[in-house]
């Protein structure tokens, strides 16, 4: 591996995005959870849920701040690290970028209002109504930015003449073939990850001995949401796989180590691959890849051998794909088990292994987000603009990419630690029971 | 009006918006820190944090808006700036990151942390200095085109009198605009001790602001005579700017109409900023990028303008709501809500 500008630019972009998507995912999902908790709280006239919404919102401010600043970083780094790409594609994708900023603006305004008007309105529903523009803003910005990423996977809506984009159709570029499945998957997985993370925090608190009704209510609510959103994510994932089989088969084939085009193709779970592309230790599910790709065992799945060698992604993305799917499935099963344990009289929802499972599912879901994005992004290598421009031709020729990488690595490292410290301290110093007493029972 | 002039005007309006609200924000951070070390924090810091808390995110969006718009309307400008400004741009970014996150850490997380407040205050002055270099570079003479790309002549920038005078103007303007606004805000809150402290800050930073402006003019004459002579043709805009500066300073000195005084400050910077922008045309980045050559494809330009108008229809009522709740609501300003 040579550390030239291309490699360093890729490393810096990956690092910024890997850091940013944690906060971006939370930023899209948590407002939905806050809105649900406040809604339930007002509807049932239950202070536990109102306090839940309040405390989530308080922690959310910290993650939003880090999300905003790292989002600004990636926004500018696009032009600083990939100027040639932006010179060509900037013409075609500036509309969704612009719209994303609008959505973000809208969210920022109403989030500011929401956070500082908790006790200002006589009618509680008025305050709850503020969550709607916040949710619209955060989900819409995810939608618009995802169309940009979808465009890089399946570009359309322009022609390339002498290195310049002409005959631009901005709407066609936004509504490219990848857009629906990607947006669906990004939104559901963000909601799911946020629900699971909040459930994990609650579960961890319960394991540490907190047993009040507040925690019980929180865990039940977040686990119901986890189940709903994780089922949605699985559905979105299925839609995405079918889409890839049709439009971007090299990505699916690389993820599945599927070399020869065939019908009744096997699905390969885990395993290892050697330099001769021989697969070992894997679980083979006969015909399942065809079923995944087209809901039928007769579906013909295109293999990697049909592509030129220098236009296929690296084979290690198989692990990313498998880990993402495994974690998603784990969350679905776990939520089901928890809900059964809660509803069935014979079992207890306080069963420790389940609680530990939930506590682990939070960080695992964040990892699944990372694995999923690595799969999606590395899966379109070597292209930056699939079929039009390769990554190697897009990187900056400027000086100092290595130094910039080091500066940002230090910065993100410090931010990561401080974010955790501040968040933990924020809630440790103010236990929920005390706050409940102070706020509602005086 | 042609599409490119419309495009650059839209962007310039946004940059002006950022200039005003970011100055308030940056200056407020510095004053909060200064208040702490000069043991006057009990007087002014609550007031400052009451204003900043609900709006800081919005400030940041103005900035993002500007550069996304620049990439959209003028992709060539993004190419040149992007290639050349990797290091200085990254420094600005790091400062913005530190400031934004430490604001949240300090304000929502652990209050009374002097170190967080120090970082927040110090970056408030370094960011305007760092960002203003992008404007300096647009005057030409700091970039060189090579066969494979664009090179940034850092040494030239660091030794240029023009560059330093712009940095100086950026810093003192930030402190002046911010102090003028906070004086008005304290006056509305009926917080007289805070008002008196902030009024002194405003008066203190008023002469340096105007001196720095003249310094920028003088050094522009040496650095870029062509631009200077175009600026002279627009003398009336700079004259109006000076007039509004005098009105603002007079009102603040006489302790009356702080609201009008702040509007005068806004107009002062409006005329100076638009006078500067208009005389800079047709160049966006001299000599590489002009508004006419580098404009985006017309379909995209039209789409951007349409979305821009639709976006404003959504944003303006929301911004008004925000201001009504936190800026013009007497009870909130006074800390009763």
Task: Give contacts of A77 with chain B, Cβ < 8 Å.
Answer: 93
Task: Give contacts of B75 with chain A, Cβ < 8 Å.
Answer: 86-88, 90-91, 94
Looking at the DSSP assignment, which residues form a beta bridge with residue B290? Answer: B283
Q: Which residue of B has its CA nearest to A423?
A: B109
Please give the ipTM for the structure prediction: 0.83
Question: In this structure, are strands B289-290 and B283-285 parallel, antiparallel, or unpaired?
Answer: antiparallel
Short-list B130, B101, B110, B91, CA closest to A70: B101
Query: Which residue ranges make up each domain of chain B?
Result: 3-333
pLDDT (mean) for B109-126:
77
Any idea what DSSP says for residue B250? H
What is the residue-wise DSSP string for B222-248? HH-HHHHHHHHHTHHHHHHHHHHHHHH
pLDDT (mean) for A346-362:
82
Interchain proximity B304–A418, CB inside 8 Å: no
Instruction: Give residue-wise pLDDT tens across range A366-379.
Output: 999 999 999 999 88
pLDDT (mean) for B189-194:
78
pLDDT (mean) for A64-70:
89
Mind spelling out the 3-state secondary structure of A262-313? EECCCEEECCEECCCCCEECCEEECCHHHHHHHCCCCCEECCHHHCCHHHCC
pLDDT of residue A441: 67
Q: Provide the 3-class DSSP secondary structure of residue B146.
A: coil
Short-list B25, B149, B132, CA closest to B89: B132
pLDDT of residue A191: 96
- Among residues of chain A, what percentage have pLDDT more than 90? 35
> Residue B40 above 80 pLDDT?
no
CB of A40 within 8 Å of a chain B CB? The answer is: no
Give first-to-last CA distance, chain B, whole Å: 47
Interchain proximity A94–B304, CB inside 8 Å: yes
Q: Which of A57, A94, A170, A421 to mutate to probe the B interface, most B CBs <10 Å?
A: A94
CB of B306 within 8 Å of a chain A CB? The answer is: no
pLDDT of residue B96: 87
No. of helices (H) and no. of strands (E), chain B: 14, 4
Higher pLDDT, B289 or B101: B101
Task: List all residues of chain B from 118 to 177 with a beta carbon under 8 Å from chain A.
Answer: 148-152
Task: List all residues of chain A from 52 to 91 with a beta carbon under 8 Å from chain B.
Answer: 58, 61-62, 64-66, 68-73, 75-77, 79-84, 86-88, 90-91
Instruction: Give residue-wise pLDDT tens across range B209-252.
Output: 888 887 887 877 877 787 778 878 888 888 888 898 888 888 88
Looking at the DSSP assignment, which residues form a beta bridge with residue A300? Answer: A263
pLDDT of residue B1: 63
Query: Which residue ranges make up each domain of chain A?
Result: 1-178+386-431, 210-247+249-379
Peptide bond into B66 cis (omega under 30): no
- Mark A429-439 as b/e (b = at least 16 C-beta within 10 Å): eeebeeebeee
The partner residue sitting opposite B94, judged by closest CB among A94, A411, A418, is A411
Q: Which of A111-115, A396-400, B178-182 has the lowest mean pLDDT?
A: A396-400
The partner residue sitting opposite B61, judged by closest CB among A76, A94, A101, is A101
pLDDT (mean) for A153-172:
83
Which of the four pLDDT bands, split at 50, 70 and 90, describes residue A148? Answer: very high
* CA–CA separation, A278 and A272 (whole Å): 8
CA A160, distance to chain mean position in Å, is 31
Task: Give contacts of A133 with chain B, Cβ < 8 Å.
Answer: 318
Give the highest mean pLDDT range of A251-260, A332-341, B243-252.
Answer: A332-341
* CA–CA separation, A165 and A174 (whole Å): 15
pLDDT of residue A141: 92
Task: List all residues of chain A from 117 to 146 with a beta carbon under 8 Å from chain B.
Answer: 117, 119-120, 133
Interchain proximity B64–A75, CB inside 8 Å: yes
The partner residue sitting opposite B149, judged by closest CB among A110, A397, A411, is A397
pLDDT of residue A349: 66
CB A117 within 8 A of CB A130: yes
Interchain proximity A98–B148, CB inside 8 Å: no
> Residue B153 above 80 pLDDT?
no
Interchain proximity B82–A396, CB inside 8 Å: yes
Looking at the DSSP assignment, which residues form a beta bridge with residue A160? Answer: A165
Angle between the N-to-C axes of helices B235-253 and B225-233, in degrees from 0 to 180, rounded to the nearest 10: 70
Q: Which of A217-226, B190-199, B285-294 has the lowest mean pLDDT?
A: B285-294
Chain A nearest CA to B56, separation (Å): 8
Which of the four pLDDT bands, split at 50, 70 and 90, describes residue B148? Answer: low
Q: Which of A161, A422, A425, A430 to mutate to probe the B interface, most B CBs <10 Å?
A: A422
pLDDT (mean) for A92-113:
86
Mean of pLDDT over chain B: 80
Interchain proximity B322–A113, CB inside 8 Å: yes
CB of A105 within 8 Å of a chain B CB? The answer is: yes
Q: Which residue of B has its CA nearest to A85?
A: B79
Q: Which residue of B has its CA nearest to A109?
A: B58
Which of the four pLDDT bands, split at 50, 70 and 90, describes residue A323? Answer: very high
* CA–CA separation, B235 and B254 (whole Å): 29
Higher pLDDT, A392 or A345: A392
Q: Which residue of A has its CA nearest to B106?
A: A422
Interchain proximity A61–B104, CB inside 8 Å: yes
Which of the four pLDDT bands, split at 50, 70 and 90, describes residue B49? Answer: confident
Task: Give contacts of B325 with chain A, Cβ < 8 Å.
Answer: 113, 116-117, 120
Higher pLDDT, A353 or A25: A25
């Amino acid at each position: 591996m040579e550390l030239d500008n291309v490699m360093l630019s890729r490393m810096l972009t990956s690092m910024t995005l890997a850091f940013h998507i944690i906060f971006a995912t939370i930023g899209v999902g948590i407002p939905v959870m806050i809105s649900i908790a406040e809604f339930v709280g007002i509807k049932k006239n239950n202070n536990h849920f109102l306090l839940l919404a309040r405390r989530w919102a308080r922690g959310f401010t910290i993650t939003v701040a880090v999300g905003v600043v790292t989002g600004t970083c990636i926004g500018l780094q696009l032009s600083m690290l990939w100027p040639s790409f932006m010179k060509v594609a900037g013409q075609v994708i500036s509309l969704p970028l612009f719209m994303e900023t609008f959505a973000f603006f809208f969210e920022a305004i109403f989030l500011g209002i929401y956070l500082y008007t908790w006790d200002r309105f006589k009618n509680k529903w008025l305050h709850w109504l503020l969550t709607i523009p916040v949710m619209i803003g955060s989900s819409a910005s995810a939608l618009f930015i995802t169309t940009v990423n979808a465009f890089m996977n399946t570009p359309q809506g322009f022609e390339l003449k002498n290195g310049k984009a002409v005959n631009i159709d901005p709407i066609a570029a936004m509504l490219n073939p990848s857009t629906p499945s990607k947006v669906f998957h990004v939104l559901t997985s963000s909601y799911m990850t946020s629900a699971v993370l909040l459930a994990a925090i609650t579960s961890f608190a319960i394991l540490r001995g907190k047993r009040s009704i507040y925690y019980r209510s929180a865990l039940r609510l977040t686990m119901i949401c986890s189940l709903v959103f994780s089922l949605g994510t699985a559905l979105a994932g299925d839609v995405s796989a079918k889409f890839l089989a049709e439009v971007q088969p090299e990505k699916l084939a690389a993820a599945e180590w599927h070399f020869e085009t065939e019908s009744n193709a096997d699905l390969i779970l885990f395993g290892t691959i050697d330099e001769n592309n021989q697969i070992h230790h894997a679980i083979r599910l006969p015909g399942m890849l065809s079923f995944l790709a087209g809901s039928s065992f007769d579906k013909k799945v295109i293999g990697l051998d049909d592509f030129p060698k220098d236009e296929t992604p690296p084979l290690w993305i198989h692990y990313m794909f498998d880990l993402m799917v495994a974690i998603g499935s784990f969350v679905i099963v776990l939520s089901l088990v928890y809900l059964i344990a809660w509803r069935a009289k014979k079992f207890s929802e306080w069963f420790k292994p389940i609680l530990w499972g939930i506590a682990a599912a939070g960080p695992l879901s964040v990892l699944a987000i990372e694995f999923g994005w690595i799969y999606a992004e590395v899966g379109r290598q070597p292209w930056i603009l699939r079929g039009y421009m390769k990554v190697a031709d897009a990187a900056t020729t400027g000086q100092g990419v290595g130094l910039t990488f080091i500066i940002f690595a230090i910065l993100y490292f410090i931010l990561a630690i401080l974010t955790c410290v501040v968040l933990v301290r924020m809630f440790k110093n103010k236990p929920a029971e005390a706050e409940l007493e102070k706020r509602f029972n005086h | 009006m042609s599409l490119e002039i419309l495009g650059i005007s839209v962007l310039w309006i946004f940059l002006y918006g950022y200039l005003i609200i970011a100055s308030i924000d940056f200056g407020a951070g510095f004053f909060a820190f200064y208040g702490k070390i000069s043991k006057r924090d009990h007087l002014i810091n609550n007031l400052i944090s009451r204003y900043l808390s609900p709006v800081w995110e919005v400030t940041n969006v103005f900035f993002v808006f500007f550069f996304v718009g620049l990439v959209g309307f003028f992709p060539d400008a993004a190419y040149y700036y992007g290639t050349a400004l990797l290091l200085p741009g990254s420094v600005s970014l790091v400062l913005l990151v530190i400031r934004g996150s430490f604001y949240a850490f300090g304000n929502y997380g652990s209050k009374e942390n002097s170190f967080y407040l120090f970082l927040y205050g110090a970056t408030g002055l370094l960011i305007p200095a760092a960002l203003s270099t992008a404007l300096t570079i647009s005057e030409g003479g700091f970039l060189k085109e090579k066969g494979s790309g664009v090179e940034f002549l850092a040494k030239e920038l660091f030794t240029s009198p023009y560059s330093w005078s712009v940095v100086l103007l950026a810093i003192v303007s930030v402190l002046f605009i911010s102090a003028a606004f906070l004086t008005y805000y304290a006056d509305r809150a009926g917080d007289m001790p805070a008002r008196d402290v902030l009024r002194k800050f405003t008066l203190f930073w008023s002469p340096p602001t105007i001196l720095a402006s003249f310094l920028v003019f003088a050094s522009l004459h040496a650095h870029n005579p062509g631009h200077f002579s175009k600026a002279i043709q627009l003398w009336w805009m700079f004259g109006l700017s000076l007039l509004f500066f005098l009105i603002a300073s007079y009102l603040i000195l006489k302790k009356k109409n702080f609201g009008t005084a702040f509007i005068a400050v806004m107009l002062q910077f409006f005329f100076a900023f638009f006078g500067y922008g208009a005389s800079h045309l047709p160049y966006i980045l001299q000599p590489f990028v002009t508004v006419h050559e580098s404009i985006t494809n017309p379909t995209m330009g039209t789409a951007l303008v349409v979305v821009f108008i639709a976006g404003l229809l959504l944003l303006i009522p929301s911004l008004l709501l925000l201001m009504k709740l936190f800026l013009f609501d007497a009870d909130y300003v006074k800390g009763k809500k």
